[in-house]
Amino acid sequence: MEDIGEVLARCQQEMTAPGAPFELDDERLAGRTVKVYRNAPRTLPEFLDAGRAHGEREFMVYEGDRWSFTRFYAAADAFAAVLAGRFGVRAGTRVAIAMRNRPEWAVAFVAAASLGAVPAPVNSFGMREELLDALAQIEPRVLVCDLDRFNRIDGGPGVSGCEIVLADAEPMPDGGVHSMSALLAAASSEPAPPRGPGAGLGVGPDDPALLLFTSGATSRAKAVLSTQRAVCQALFNLDYIGAVAAKSSPALIGAMIERGFAPTTLMAVPLFHVSGLHAQLLASLRHGRRLVLMHRWDPARALELIRQERVTQFNGAPSMLTQLLEAPGIADPEVLRSLSGFGAGGAGLPQRTIDRLVAFTDRIAGVGFGMTETNGVGAGISGEAFRLNPRCSGVVSPIIEVRVVGAQGETCAMLERGEIWLRGVTLMSEYLRDPRATAEALTPEGWLRTGDVGYVDEEGQLYIVDRIKDVINRNGEKIAAAEVESCLMQHPEVREAAVFGVPDEQAGEAVAAVVVTREGSALGIEEIVAHVRAHLAAYKTPSHVYLRSEALPRNPAGKLLKGELKESYRAG
């Protein structure tokens, strides 16, 4: 009898063979040969056009407002006509999007992408400085935002020639800001833009497709630029992962089908993340799945929506999944009547969450590992394979190479721990306008240094065990410690500051700050927290603040001994 490793290997071999749906091919990119899915769409306009076939089927539900695929595409086409006719958006033009999850976010994205333009989703949790910095990097022709984000930037994007479109408000009295609803109402006067394969957009696989922001380990969020080919290969890889799960877990798939509910995902992760954009919005659009959008995460509200909307799938950050599984009412028969699958990405799952997932013997659960810089592609595991090996981060994708690298740059032996490097067709082109950061992340041979420590076993399963980068993972949001430290140091009474993550049962990790104030200062913890909250997104605000009078520990070269500091305050 085959073990699960043999089953997975056989599934991959069968599904990627010549003539199979996920047939692999070789392409030359940047002087190297990479594996690609032969049948994947070549560009985002081609990918998006396939969703039109779903017609009057329900696509999105938001705060009681229901959108069919027909309604959605009508809005996206109308807004594309406005972008092209009124604002001159063309292939390669950048269009920024800054708002909470809502249907208009998706309309703006699809409208821009269908023109061959470059959508640039911005972190909607950002405060004024963060939003303006992101817009300065992007230099968009159009910013589509909600009223909250508009007010945060004081009504001006700080970018010459950038038009602002409000998704949820009327035009401003001075006429300098547009209303999406008003633009859509008048869209019939704009010529319809070309669409579909061969529409003459002038967009090819090597052209830019997407800008997403990632904080990484630096004090400034970086804009990750990806090509049309990279994004489309990543999206097709999601189909491959689903096909492997179905083929290797027939009993679980059979139980899901027997429940008889239309595939419906509860969407709580932000759309500006690859996990929300790729794995939920775009995958659902192409394959005709329903999306139920949450305005903000709340486990009690999530359970209510699962019951009301007959949700079949929940994917979220590990902390979200933990909170959902521990919420009162998760075992309600009306919740479990439809809920068939759970998924998590990013950091590893706590053991108690794994135990709860495995206890659902007739539900599909899975995890994945990827990065913004890889368009989410890396490794994935679900279904029976996850149940048998829930501590691993997934089986390596057939279009990605993995190298485990030691401290001296040597390739580690199997099962030996080192930094995970990734290479393949889905990798970013660059960090926009940041050649130094790009060179630090990408080797001349095309490897991406992930900053994560792990190993690969003999069956090609990847294990992530630690992080090199000084990044805090709070509720799935990556927080650069250097960014919070920089903010703290802007306070005139702060002399030194060190920020790091500490374990937190609810959020996975919480932000801790050690602050050295100037001599004679009366600065208190509440004032420090208020200072950070006034300048950075709320989720970056420290949950734990420790005041000290003595200097922070440093080595003879002046480097901060953060490890020593962490141990001291975790113990205390």
* Residues 410, 414, 416, 420, CA torsion sign: positive
Instruction: Tell me what pLDDT residue 566 has.
Output: 84
State which amino acid sits at residue 320.
M
Asked if 440 and 218 touch (Cβ cutoff 8 Å), the reply is no
Confidence of residue 290 (pLDDT cuts 50, 70, 90): very high
**What is the rounded CA–CA span in Å between residue 256 and residue 135?**
44
Least trusted range by pLDDT, from 93-97, 199-203, 445-449:
199-203
Instruction: Tell me what pLDDT residue 241 has.
Output: 94
Question: Which one is predicted more confidently, 387 or 570?
Answer: 387
The backbone torsions φ and ψ at residue 512, rounded to the nearest 5 degrees and listed phi first, read -115, 140
Of 172, 204, 236, at which residue does a domain stop? 204
Compute the average pLDDT of residues 63-75: 97
Confidence of residue 86 (pLDDT cuts 50, 70, 90): very high
Instruction: Tell me what pLDDT residue 218 has.
Output: 52
Bridge partner list, 348: none
Q: Is residue 511 part of a domain?
A: yes
Compute the average pLDDT of residues 62-68: 97
Domain count, the chain: 3
Where would I find the H helices in 505-551? 525-535
Output the CA–CA distances (angstroms, integers) from residue 3 to 293, 347, 418, in the order listed. Answer: 39, 27, 28
| Count of beta carbons in the 10 Å neighbourhood of residue 260 | 8
- Whether residue 485 is found in the same domain as residue 507: yes
Asked if 288 and 335 touch (Cβ cutoff 8 Å), the reply is no
- Whether residue 460 is found in the same domain as residue 500: no
Asked if 46 and 444 touch (Cβ cutoff 8 Å), the reply is no
- Asked if pLDDT for residue 4 goes beyond 90, the answer is no
- Beta-sheet strands, E only, within 261-408: 264-267, 290-293, 313-316, 341-345, 364-369, 379-382, 394-396, 400-405
Q: Is residue 44 part of a domain?
A: no
**What is the rounded end-to-end Cα distance, in angstroms, of the chain?**
52
- Whether residue 267 is found in the same domain as residue 311: yes
- Asked if pLDDT for residue 217 goes beyond 90, the answer is no
- 400-437 tens-digit pLDDT: 999 999 989 999 999 999 999 999 999 999 999 999 99
- 325-374 tens-digit pLDDT: 989 999 999 999 999 999 987 556 777 788 889 888 889 999 999 999 99
Which residue, 420, 415, 472, is CA-closest to 451? 420
- Whether residue 197 is found in the same domain as residue 261: no
- 150-172 tens-digit pLDDT: 999 998 899 999 999 999 987 67
Which residue, 436, 279, 416, 415, is CA-closest to 343? 279
Of 436, 467, 498, at which residue does a domain stop? 467
SS3 229: helix
Confidence of residue 319 (pLDDT cuts 50, 70, 90): confident
Tell me which residue has tokens 């630096």.
Answer: 218
Assign residue 257 the CATH number of its domain.
Answer: 3.40.50.12780
Burial of 459 by CB count in 10 Å (0-12 exposed, 13-18 middle, 19+ buried)?
middle
Question: Which one is predicted more confidently, 190 or 493?
Answer: 493
Domain containing 520: what range?
A: 472-571
Share of the chain above pLDDT 90, in %: 69
**Which residues have CB under 8 Å from 185's CB, separation 6+?**
none
Q: Is residue 221 part of a domain?
A: no
Q: Is residue 61 part of a domain?
A: no
- Whether residue 446 is found in the same domain as residue 479: no
Q: How high is the mean pLDDT of the chain?
A: 91
SS3 191: coil
